[in-house]
Amino acid sequence: MKKIKVLIVDDSAFMRKVLEDILSSDNEIEVVATAKDGKEAIELTKKLEPHVITMDVEMPILNGLEATKSIMESKPTPIVMLSAITKEGSEATLKAMDYGAVDVIEKPSGSVSLDIRKIGEDIITNVKSASKSTVKSNSIRFLKNEDKNQNIVAEKSLEKISGIALEKLNSMAILIGSSTGGPPVVSDIISSLPKGMPPIFVVQHMPRGFTKVFAERMNTVSKLTVKEAEHGELVKSDHVYVAPGDTQMLLQKRGGNAYISIDENMPKVHGTRPTVDITAEYVVKVYGRNTVGVILTGIGKDGANGLKQIKSIGGYTIAQDKDSCVIYGMPKTAIEMNVIDVVLNPSKIPEEIIKFSKKIVG
């Protein structure tokens, strides 16, 4: 069996050595080289053609963000970002994912994490997942120019939903689940939706600390209010709630209102937390058949059972198409379970979401 060839990029000699030890401990992985900065990473990528690159964010000469952009333009390769949780680091990491990086791993204690070995299994798992990714040089954005006019038309027709009574908007919900390669797709979908939308719940597999910046970045390009979900807050229309990393996002109904409950102790399901299936279960309890479920790119099977619940109760389910997925695992599983109503390119999903929302409210 061919081994997964990995290039490690980090300006710390200690980090390069420990990451090499961690990855080399798995007999399916071969570390073919290490690089101390982005410039060296670009050169080694062209020369060695690794299957996966682990990329530090903050480096001299050329940082991880610029290196990722250059590699994705010249030699598209699955890149896993390794980043410390700082506001600057988180923003750069998410920008790198816009450029085409497929995943992010949180360094547990800063740029030089002496305790990096404690997440060794996670690093190995993420690298193996990334090796299954399909990356393209044009994958920076999913809404291509030819789709822009269609989206403008869709927005104009869907803005009519804004006149709907508030109680009707609050009687329905949209759930979006995503993993590897998902952040730019989620952002494109959310930014294309007009005002006058029911509450939207986003479950993106992402470490703690990155989800807040992810929500803040989407908020700057969206007509809706996008925020990281908070425990106990009232759910409102025209709001998008992003599940905080390393927690489960639940819902509770009190009186005629829905409230968010964030559980930090509930275990991982499918090896991840937050989990699409968990949030879906609670969305269905509160909104029933007035639910739209969307499953996007990602490895594994999370979301399939959740969408099964949505479809079985009379809601509507959408899956991202194979050609636009970085990893087709999550949509593929749901499609094979026969729980998907329609399969679409992400550029078509906003219009489909609003069409069903209009159908619910008549």
Catalytic residues: 179, 205, 302
- For residue 285, the SS3 value is helix
Please enumerate in sequence order all residues whose Cβ is within 8 A of that of 2, keeping only pairs 6 or more positions apart, or say none: none
| Helix or strand holding residue 2 (H, E) | none
Q: d(Cα 178, Cα 185) in Å, to the nearest integer?
A: 9
DSSP symbol at 10: -
299 with 329: CB under 8 angstroms?
yes
Number of separate helices (H) and strands (E) present in the chain: 13, 14
Alpha helices (H) along 135-257: 145-158, 166-169, 183-191, 210-221
In the block, residue with structure tokens 């600057």: 88
Q: d(Cα 10, Cα 59) in Å, to the nearest integer?
A: 7
Report CA-CA distances (Å) from 283 to 109, 190, 292, 306: 35, 18, 10, 9
User: Taking the alpha carbons of 57, 62, 66, 70 in that order, is the dihedral positive or negative?
Assistant: negative
64 with 58: CB under 8 angstroms?
yes
Q: d(Cα 260, Cα 282) in Å, to the nearest integer?
A: 10
Strands 200-204 and 225-228: unpaired
Q: What one-letter code names the amino acid at 138?
A: N
Counting Cα atoms < 13 Å in the Cβ hemisphere of 180 gives: 27
CA distance between the termini of the chain: 56
Q: d(Cα 141, Cα 72) in Å, to the nearest integer?
A: 12
Alpha helices (H) along 75-180: 87-99, 120-130, 145-158, 166-169
